[in-house]
Structure 1
Amino acid sequence: MTRKEWEALVEYTLNIGRQMLECGAEAWRAENTMARILRAYGLEVQDAHVIATQAAVTVKTPEGDHYTSTCMILPEKTGTDLERLEILNAAARRICEATPALDQLPLVLQRPAVRWSWRECLGYMLGAGAFGVFFGGSLLDGVASGVIGGVIYLMEQVRRLHRQNKVIYTTVACFLSGILAQLCVAIGFGTNLDRIMIGDIMLFIPGLVIVNGVREFFYADILTGVYRLIEALLIAGAIAVGYAVSLVIGGQIL
């Protein structure tokens, strides 16, 4: 390969690792994937390092040339997208097995636009409604919680579209969902305010972030693990602040 082709391959591989982390993958998984792709093309991987905010890779070609590339991972782009992560994993496996030419590499770097899926919306609604009933609410409480869950899905899509800060978004979204829950009870569309709120709160809980943060510790990625746990704590605080303010303001208005 020419120097330009080696550089293009390194950039391509680095972007796969970056997108994997943006989709919620662990740091070690992104590092392992990048290293496997580069080794499949005969490169000696001297460093493939990923943390929560940056990815870097250094390789050595058979001719003895070194290539180093880094990229930044913006927090507002990160989230949980397991479907996208599976697409990236499948593409990486195909590349390692077939080692196609550069012009035949899968176009996985073309990040899809924000999509409005009725399946995701239905999942939000069913999840919120089911949790509302599970924690002791009536069927009407579950329906109210599910409707608000649909509104939360719309707010989440707006956040993805505009890449808003997740902590600020969580605070605002929790405040608005808290106001909607109180409004539902005020007009008789539900009887147990706490049960309706609990169902919707479960949509904001950063459970996967916490689990991944703990897993990072087991793989000795201390910095990424600490970053994820702090992020989870900030989101938990934002949930508490958003709903607390909604109760204070909603109690005065409604």
Structure 2
Amino acid sequence: MHLERVVDVFLELARQLYYHGSNATEIEKYISDAALAYNLEVQIASIGTVIYLTVVDKKGKSITRIERIQNTSIDFNKLEQWENLIKKMISETPPISFVRDDILILKYEQNKIIRSMPINIIAVFIASFSFSFVFKGGFFEGIASGTVGTIVYLLTMRIKNKIFKDFMAGFLLHTLIKILSLYYSINPFPTLAGAVMVFVPGLLLTNGIMEIGDRNLVSGSSKLLEAIFVLGALVMGAGISAAFWR
């Protein structure tokens, strides 16, 4: 088999796993198991936003690639499809050329899937509405939380920088809820808490802690630090808004 094509396939699989929300430990295990199925030696490290991959064939020839992942798009349904493709490689070991074809087909099919904006809006509303009850809010707090959370989600969805996005989200959430409280009798705390939960980087926190627990210290620490900064921006935005309303 052509080693360069093998490296391209493994790197593409690692890239897709990272892009759709897999953590470093899972990426490294999946790629290592796939390489083992093809009797290849592989060294892979997913560190922060960079994937390092070295593949060595039976003759000792090796190729090393480094890939930087600029952004992510968390989607567990798509992630499961990529994981299933790798599991198929491990169990059936199809020719690499067939795997390349499967990758192209899967990418084409996934690119055709257009996220429905109405579904996203409904999901954000339901999440904010539900979380407000967790924080002991009533029905009106839930409606207010869902409405404000949805509005802020739409206003900030085009912002690429995560820290600035969450800063603006925190500021706008608190500001809109304070405005609502001037006209309606609602409890601001559960209303704000419910809407805020939509913007909390839960997966980033979870992956960071899991990777540290698996001794992926550099990758886990970088993700945990990023999550802390994002959370800090969210709190700071709400805090600045609160200072304006005093």
Q: How many residues align?
A: 240
Q: Deviations over 1:148-180 (max 9, x none)?
A: 222244246424xxxx11111110122122222
Offset at residue 238 of structure 1 (A)? 0.6
Extract unaligned runs of 5+ from structure 2: none
Offset at residue 114 of structure 1 (A)? 6.6
Matched, 1:165 2:161: yes
Aligned pairs (5 A) from 1:36-55: 36-45=33-42, 47-55=43-51
Match for residue 104 of structure 1? 101
> Per the alignment, in what secondary structure is the counterpart of residue 126 of structure 2?
helix
Offset at residue 221 of structure 1 (A)? 0.4
TM-score (norm 1): 0.84
C-alpha distance in 1 between matches for 2:155 and 2:114: 12
Q: Which amino acid aligns with 1:169?
A: K
Offset at residue 12 of structure 1 (A)? 2.2
Offset at residue 142 of structure 1 (A)? 0.8
Q: Which amino acid aligns with 1:123?
A: A
Offset at residue 229 of structure 1 (A)? 1.5
Q: Deviations over 1:5-56 (max 9, x none)?
A: x2122122112212212322221110111122233333222x1111112111
Asked if the contact 2:53/2:65 (under 8 Å) is kept, the reply is yes
C-alpha distance in 2 between matches for 1:97 and 1:153: 42
Match for residue 182 of structure 2? 186
Asked if the contact 1:209/1:229 (under 8 Å) is kept, the reply is yes
Asked if the contact 1:21/1:52 (under 8 Å) is kept, the reply is no
Match for residue 144 of structure 1? 144
Asked if the contact 1:59/1:66 (under 8 Å) is kept, the reply is yes
> Per the alignment, in what secondary structure is the counterpart of residue 199 of structure 2?
coil
Q: Which amino acid aligns with 2:163?
A: V
TM-score (norm 2): 0.86
Q: Which residue among 59, 62, 70 is the counterpart of 2:66? A: 70
RMSD: 2.3
Match for residue 82 of structure 2? 88
Asked if the contact 1:171/1:241 (under 8 Å) is kept, the reply is yes
Asked if the contact 1:27/1:224 (under 8 Å) is kept, the reply is yes
Match for residue 116 of structure 1? 116
C-alpha distance in 2 between matches for 1:168 and 1:21: 23
Asked if the contact 2:24/2:216 (under 8 Å) is kept, the reply is yes
Percentage of matched positions with identical amino acids: 26
Extract unaligned runs of 5+ from structure 1: none
